[in-house]
Chains A and B, each alone.
Chain A
């Protein structure tokens, strides 16, 4: 038992802060376009593996923090995060039995839903962004998923 599995809540806060850092770290333009939604991936992982540590309210607060950081309309990321977290919570027993590749596909569709929610809210609030580059993080996020799972599981179970 290490610190992470002894205190999942602390692990949750640390990983969320790391995700927020990676999500808002200044990067060169090209990398910025390819940047996966780290924070959302972390939230998905916790909803999948430790659903009792991070509830929907936590996902909502994380989304709100991202809104405040990015300067977008307040509640945009919060709404999308809650929707994704709800879906993962609802199906976490099923999804965590899937093989990793299969799981990546599920994550791909979740990330797509997230981007679509943002896209839709952008349209409603009058900042439509119809460029195809906005869908790149969906792909990079799904590709990153196995790596992230490996890393976070290692951190959780290393003894």
Chain B
């Protein structure tokens, strides 16, 4: 390594005492920042400002990837485009047919709910958000999307993609928000087996292809291939959204709990866009049901928030 003098500066090593003092001050500042950020959670404004400031830089960092995407998209062959077009056309046609059926079913559902005197499901609003694709950490599954409080995004809001639940908003900045994926190892969401309505919790594993269901007893009625949907308890995720499919099931006779893993339905590691969902959990219409009714399962909802400790 060449030992160079910096031009324009007579060489003199920085004085050690001043160096140590500066290091100490900066370390103290970092510790103070961490304490305020972690304990009081009061740095939302600062974080929002920082993320707004970092936004152009993030775009810059993302630009090689964007340029590559643009290049591959521009130089896609005509045949690929035609094939893709045909596939999309077929998909739209199939979706159209399903939508027609869905319309009829929804009408029927409304009528039946009216007959039962039950309140209709709360209307939901969705908005498309693009993932800025700045990968945040290899094991902490968070992504940044280009919608913030400016667009009405709030903390704790659900995000889905075309095929299933994606995650929820962990931190809403002014222009961009941070989503925590359902596969993050500190995330848990209340789910239901679609086949029989069995309720449980799906916990992230830190692997985008696996969710863990650690709270199912050995004799629970689950089978390989069972579809998991959100149960809507806890009020973050709307009920009935597909979460995943049971992919692995082991019942060890010496263990009280079965070892169950599920493959997420959403393409957690391949998505470019997600849908942010605005959802108002329905409050009981007639609040005078009284204590005769069994209390709602609140414990599942309490776990819905991102946990900070492992079980």
Name A's B-contacting residues (CB within 8 A).
1, 5-6, 8, 17, 20-21, 24-27, 29, 32-33, 35, 48-53, 55-57, 60, 63, 65, 68-76, 78-79, 82-83, 85-86, 89-90, 92-93, 96, 100, 103, 121, 125-129, 131, 133-134, 149, 153, 156-157
Contacts and interface: CB of A to CB of B under 8 A. Distances in A.
A124 B178 CA distance: 22
A86 B19 contact: yes
B98 to A, nearest CB: 33
A56 B30 CA distance: 13
A61 to B, nearest CB: 10
Which one of A73, A93, A121 has the greatest number of beta carbons of chain B within 10 Å? A73
Interface stretch (B4-12, B148-156, B229-237, B258-266): B4-12
Nearest to B309: A126
A124 to B, nearest CB: 8
B6 A75 contact: no
B74 interface: no
Nearest to B16: A90
Given A5-B4, A157-B2, A60 B37 contact: no
Interface in B45-92: 46-47, 50-51, 53-54, 57-58, 60-61, 64-65
Contact of A73 (B38, B137, B170): B38
B134 A24 contact: yes
A49 B4 contact: yes
B250 interface: no
B134 A33 contact: no
Nearest to B269: A29
Nearest to A51: B14
Contacts of A126: 308-309
Given A70-B136, A86-B23, A156-B2, 15 more contacts: A21-B61, A24-B134, A49-B4, A50-B4, A56-B19, A68-B53, A71-B170, A73-B34, A78-B26, A78-B30, A79-B30, A92-B13, A125-B38, A131-B139, A153-B2
Interface residues of B, number: 57
A79 B135 contact: no
Contact of A65 (B54, B138, B144, B269): B54
A49 B19 contact: no
B134 A75 contact: no
B43 interface: yes
Which one of B9, B54, B57, B308 has the greatest number of beta carbons of chain A within 10 Å? B57
Nearest to B53: A68
B186 interface: yes
Contact of A26 (B3, B20, B134): B134
Interface in B132-175: 133-140, 142, 144, 170-171
Given A68-B51, A69-B134, A78-B33, A83 B27 contact: yes
B31 interface: yes
A75 B61 contact: no
B22 interface: yes
Contacts of A75: 29-34, 37
A30 to B, nearest CB: 10
A17 B61 CA distance: 9
Nearest to A33: B138
A82 B38 CA distance: 20
Given A33-B138, A126-B308, A68 B23 contact: no
14 contacts: A24-B136, A25-B61, A26-B135, A29-B138, A49-B4, A65-B57, A69-B57, A72-B140, A74-B43, A78-B26, A78-B30, A83-B27, A125-B38, A134-B139
